[in-house]
Amino acid sequence: MNILLAILGISALVIVHEGGHYLAARAFGMRVLRFSVGFGPTIARFQPKDSPTVFQVGLIPFMAYVQIAGMNPAEENDPNDPELYPNKSVFARFAAVFAGPFANYLTASLLVFVLALMGHHGENPPHEPMVVDTVQPDSPALSAGIQAGDVIVQANDKPVKNVLDLIQITTDRAGKPTTYVIERAGQRLDPLTITPIDDHGRGVIGIIPKAELTPMAVGDAVSYSVVYPFQLTMAQLEGFKMMFRQGSTEGVVGPVGMVKFVATRTGNFVQLANVLILISVALGMFNLLPLPALDGGRLVFLGYELVTRRRANERVETLVHTVGLVLLLCLIALVTLRDVAG
């Protein structure tokens, strides 16, 4: 069930991304030929009356794509067809490309806004004492017998007052047996030896702490819903910089890795919403990178056209995006094989 929720959650974010492209393209009068959810053999298809778009669902409901007429530079296009992508203004084409990542950021902001109104936001003070709210499935904490409601009072022979103390002590303990002392129903139990697992470079034992909930005012929630995704973007870009400096792809995950990541964080709505916020921002940010085959790469060519007032050579643009797509697919394949093996 957790894996199914993970697949549906990630697919929903990709559908949102492609939905952004679709809505913007239609708003500027472009003809959209196909909106496909999933891949593999088509199991359902629908074309509304007087609509050029075929909506279809593939056998495997993972990922999605939108086919905008004329967007592929290799196509032969009629210069007199007003509904083709290349025959639209540079602003219209820019909007159609940018709308996908924007839809992901908008989704993240909406989720942040809802959580902030519920009191789940990073500006709440940490709850004291360190009470366990949720124990994640297949986690070291669950294997050790920790239960919801337990109070963690010591870790590695150091006192724990709140979750910040627990994180500070546990972060560098990945793979190292560590002693934890808990209280249950007011009684201190015998020390537990737990080996934190590595979660993207930090040690974790797989618990969600009880939080102090202070619902934000609507105005503050609106502001926070804009600021927090921006902060996540800066943190993710910093992570990319570190990977380039270290020459490592350990922080990169493919579809399998994403499903694994989400599947271990579906204990409740708040937990699932937080991980979807993280992935939605990552999808928006990654697609805006100025790399060939990505939305950001297309925006670079459109920016060139906007500045020089002349279009880039179509053959050059096609070649650049084709090479970029091949390299991107190779990277995804390699990362996916590593995720499966792991």
Q: Which residues are catalytic?
A: 18
Long-range CB pairs of 200-203, under 8 A, 24+ apart, other chains included = 200/251, 201/250, 201/251, 202/170, 202/171, 202/172, 202/174, 203/170, 203/171, 203/172, 203/173, 203/174, 203/175, 203/176
| Residue 187 β-bridge partners | 184
Quote the tokens at residue 198: 């590595």
Count of other CB atoms within 10 angstroms of residue 102: 19
User: How far separated are the first and last CA of the chain, in Å rounded?
Assistant: 21
Q: In Å, how far are 73, 109, 281 from 224, measured between CA atoms?
A: 40, 8, 14
Taking residue 123's Cβ as centre, other Cβ atoms within 10 Å add up to 10
Where on the phi/psi map is residue 35: left (φ > 0), alpha (ψ -120 to 50), or beta?
beta
Q: Which of 298, 299, 301, 325 is nearest to 312 (CA)?
A: 301
Other Cβ atoms within 10 Å of 273 Cβ, number: 18
For residues 195, 199, 205 and 211, what is the CA-based torsion angle, rounded to 10 degrees? 160
